[in-house]
């Protein structure tokens, strides 16, 4: 069995619910079902405008998630208050401004070392595992080590975008970053645009990959396959 865990990002489910108001689809039940069908974690990324996951959703999810609960976000004051209250398994720090549609870059861990170090100290004081979202750059991985983080999450958009053109070229920098993570004794996560098309090759090439967080592609696949079959197929890619 693979050592890489699948965490399902359920933001898109909240987006659909919010489009009409009410509670359809039921976000909490969906999270329960994802775990029941084999997901090894639940990821959410609450944003200040509440356009998908709302802060109250995070509070409601905490007591029902029985696997790993991963909360992504920019460490604003309100975000930090939330995660220190909820105490999830992991907090993934992303550098997105509030208006960003989706994550589009990793942290510059050298320029923001002092800031990230302070944030991580606060999270560690509550026993929360930390991960920093970074580009596939060994220098940024090495810089993350100095902050005291437990993990880095590689931003995989460039890999996904170039996979069908030349998968060996697309994976190259990620292999280098993964080797640096191993050298630095930092665990490794990955996410953004990973899918049934490109996930298996990525996992095969990155032997120290602990966790992938997948939302958009997985939820799109579930529209055709159903969530149970979709999770089964993603787990198969990770074997």
Any idea which residues carry the catalytic annotation? Answer: 45, 72, 192
Tokens of 23: 């509670």
Spell out the SS3 assignment of 14-42.
HHHHHHHCCCCCCHHHHHHHHHHCCCCEE
> Which residue, 154, 171, 153, is CA-closest to 162?
171
In whole angstroms, what separates CA 191 from the centre of its chain?
A: 5
Tokens (6 digits) for 117:
């170090």
Stated as kind and residue range, the H or E segment containing 189 is: strand 187-191
**Cα–Cα separations (whole angstroms), residue 17 to 20, 30, 42, 206:** 6, 11, 17, 36
Beta bridge partners of 134: 154
User: Look-up: residue for tokens 């995660």?
Assistant: 83
Cα 149 to Cα 40, 48, 103, 126: the distances in Å are 22, 24, 20, 14
């Amino acid at each position: 069995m693979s050592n890489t865990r699948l965490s399902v990002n359920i933001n898109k489910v909240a987006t659909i619910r919010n489009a009409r108001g009410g509670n359809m689809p039921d976000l909490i039940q969906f999270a329960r079902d994802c775990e029941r069908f084999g997901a090894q974690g639940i990821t959410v990324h609450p944003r200040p405008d509440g356009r998908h996951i709302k802060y109250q959703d995070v509070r409601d999810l905490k007591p029902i998630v029985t696997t790993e609960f991963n909360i992504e976000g920019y460490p604003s004051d309100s975000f930090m208050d939330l995660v220190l209250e909820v105490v999830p398994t992991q907090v993934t720090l992303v550098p997105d401004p509030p208006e960003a549609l989706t994550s589009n870059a990793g942290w510059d861990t050298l320029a923001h070392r002092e800031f990230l170090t302070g944030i991580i100290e606060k999270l560690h004081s509550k026993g929360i595992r930390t991960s920093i979202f970074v580009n596939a750059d060994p220098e940024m991985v090495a810089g993350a080590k100095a902050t005291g983080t437990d993990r880095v999450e590689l931003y995989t958009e460039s890999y996904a975008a170039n996979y069908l053109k030349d998968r060996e070229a697309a994976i190259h920098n990620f292999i280098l970053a993964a080797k640096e993570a191993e050298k630095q004794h930092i665990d490794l996560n990955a996410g953004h645009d990973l899918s049934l098309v490109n996930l298996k090759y990525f996992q095969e090439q990155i032997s120290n990959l602990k966790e992938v967080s997948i939302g958009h592609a997985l939820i799109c696949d579930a529209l055709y396959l159903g969530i149970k079959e979709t999770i089964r197929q993603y787990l198969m890619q990770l074997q």
